[in-house]
Amino acid sequence: MLFNRTIIACILRALYNEKLMNGLPNNETRPEFLIDTMVRGLVRWLRFLGYKAWDAGTLNDAKTIIQKNPKIILLTCSKSHLEQIQPTRYMLLLEDHLENQLHKLNYEFGIFRDIHLLSICSFCNIEVKSVDKSEIEKNIPERVAENYEIFRQCPECKRVYWQGGHIIRLKDKLRRMNIPISDFDSPNSKP
Ligand SMILES: [Zn+2]
């Protein structure tokens, strides 16, 4: 029994590491979200989990975004906004707390099944790319360059991402919300 569990853990670890290192989300099937102003806090967290999430802005902005991307899912807590925007796809989020909102999104769209941390730029909402340390070394603190090997960079704003202390704190917060962030998702620091 223990042996079986060990094998399964090894397989999961191999799969997970592959995803962490190489895998970017499969955008063909991956839900994308349009976040209404009153639940704007979700933008940051969905991007951190690896989902594209647009800030809806004004009602007209929201309509324009939906016209360009009819598959996008509007998240709102306002029935009035739903009536005015008339989205193709939407979810009415009446939950107050971030934890409950994320769990409801998982119930409907399975967002916890395919988490890709650090795959979306938290500022530009586009996929970040793997980058060789030598290319960005001059743009990161020396301490970071000494301790981390794996980096990603936003092709737009050029921000560099790595799994440092800030990311660990965000992951801990997600775990406290009972979101299944893998133990294998450890910082890629040197031993
Ligand atoms: Zn960016």
The pLDDT tens digits for 59-91 are: 999 999 999 999 999 999 999 999 999 999 999
For ligand 1, the distance from its centroid to the CA atom of residue 10, given in whole angstroms, is 34
In the chain, where the domains are located: 25-116, 119-191
Composition of the chain by helix, strand, coil, percent to 5: 45, 15, 40
- The correct answer on CATH 3.40.50 for the domain covering 25-116 is yes
* CB atoms closer than 10 angstroms to residue 56: 27
For ligand 1, the distance from its centroid to the CA atom of residue 160, given in whole angstroms, is 9
Four-point Cα dihedral 43, 20, 127, 122, nearest 10: 30
Describe the strand order of the beta sheet including 151-153 as a list of residue ranges.
129-131, 151-153, 160-161
List, in order, residues 6 or more apart from 159 with CB less than 8 Å away. Answer: 121, 123, 128, 153
31 backbone dihedrals φ, ψ, rounded to 5°: -65, 145
For ligand 1, the distance from its centroid to the CA atom of residue 53, given in whole angstroms, is 13
For ligand 1, the distance from its centroid to the CA atom of residue 80, given in whole angstroms, is 33
Q: Note the pLDDT of residue 87.
A: 95
Q: Note the pLDDT of residue 29.
A: 79
Q: Note the pLDDT of residue 97.
A: 93
For ligand 1, the distance from its centroid to the CA atom of residue 31, given in whole angstroms, is 20
For ligand 1, the distance from its centroid to the CA atom of residue 3, given in whole angstroms, is 44
For ligand 1, the distance from its centroid to the CA atom of residue 41, given in whole angstroms, is 18
Q: Would you say the pTM of this structure is higher than 0.85?
A: no
For ligand 1, the distance from its centroid to the CA atom of residue 56, given in whole angstroms, is 18
Q: Note the pLDDT of residue 27.
A: 64
Residues with CB under 5 A from ligand 1 (ion): 121, 123-124, 154, 156-157
Q: Note the pLDDT of residue 24.
A: 53
- 7-21, 50-64, 115-129, 148-162: least confident range: 7-21
